[in-house]
Amino acid sequence: MNHRWWLDPCKPVDSQVLEQAMARQQQLTKPAGSLGRLESVAVQLAGLQGQVKPSLEQLWIAIFAGDHGVVAEGVSAYPQEVTGQMLLNFVSGGAAISVLARRLDACLEVVDLGTVTPSLDLPGVRHLRVGPGTANFLLGPAMTLAQGEQALQAGRDSAMRAAGRGTQLFIGGEMGIGNTTAASALACALLDCPVAHLVGPGTGLDAAGISRKVQVIERALAVHGGSNGDPLQTLCNLGGFEIVALVGAYLACAQQGIAVLVDGFICSVAALVAVRLNPACRPWLLFAHRGAEPGHRHVLETLAAEPLLDLGLRLGEGSGAALAVPLLRLACDLHGQMATFAEAAVADRPA
Same domain for 11 and 90, yes or no, is: no
Q: Average of pLDDT values for 206-220?
A: 92
Count of the separate structural domains present in the chain: 2
- State the maximum Cα–Cα separation within the chain, in Å, rounded to a whole number: 71
Same domain for 85 and 125, yes or no, is: yes
181, pLDDT greater than 70: yes
Dist CA 256 CA 10 (whole Å): 7
221, pLDDT greater than 80: yes
Same domain for 231 and 272, yes or no, is: yes
Dist CA 344 CA 335 (whole Å): 15
Domain of 256 in residue numbering reads as 59-324
User: Each residue of 251-269: pLDDT tens digit?
Assistant: 999 999 999 999 999 999 9
In a domain, 105, yes or no: yes
In a domain, 101, yes or no: yes
In a domain, 350, yes or no: no
Phi, psi of 344 (to 5 degrees): -90, 0
In a domain, 351, yes or no: no
Provide the pLDDT for residue 2: 57
Collapsed DSSP state (helix, strand, coil) of residue 315: coil
Same domain for 173 and 117, yes or no, is: yes
- Which residues are catalytic, by number? 317
Same domain for 25 and 141, yes or no, is: no
Same domain for 28 and 155, yes or no, is: no
In a domain, 329, yes or no: no
Same domain for 109 and 213, yes or no, is: yes
Whole-model pTM: value is 0.97
In a domain, 25, yes or no: yes
In a domain, 188, yes or no: yes
132, pLDDT greater than 50: yes
Same domain for 339 and 208, yes or no, is: no
Instruction: Give me the CATH number covering residue 29.
Output: 1.10.1610.10
In a domain, 225, yes or no: yes
Same domain for 146 and 13, yes or no, is: no
Strand residues in the chain grouped as ranges (E): 59-66, 107-114, 125-127, 169-175, 259-262, 285-287
Same domain for 79 and 18, yes or no, is: no
Dist CA 172 CA 107 (whole Å): 12
Same domain for 105 and 43, yes or no, is: no
Report which secondary-structure segment, H or E, holds 286: strand 285-287
Order of strands across the sheet that contains 169-175: 125-127, 107-114, 59-66, 169-175, 259-262, 285-287
Dist CA 14 CA 236 (whole Å): 34
Provide the pLDDT for residue 1: 46
Instruction: Give me the CATH number covering residue 99.
Output: 3.40.50.10210
Same domain for 214 and 312, yes or no, is: yes
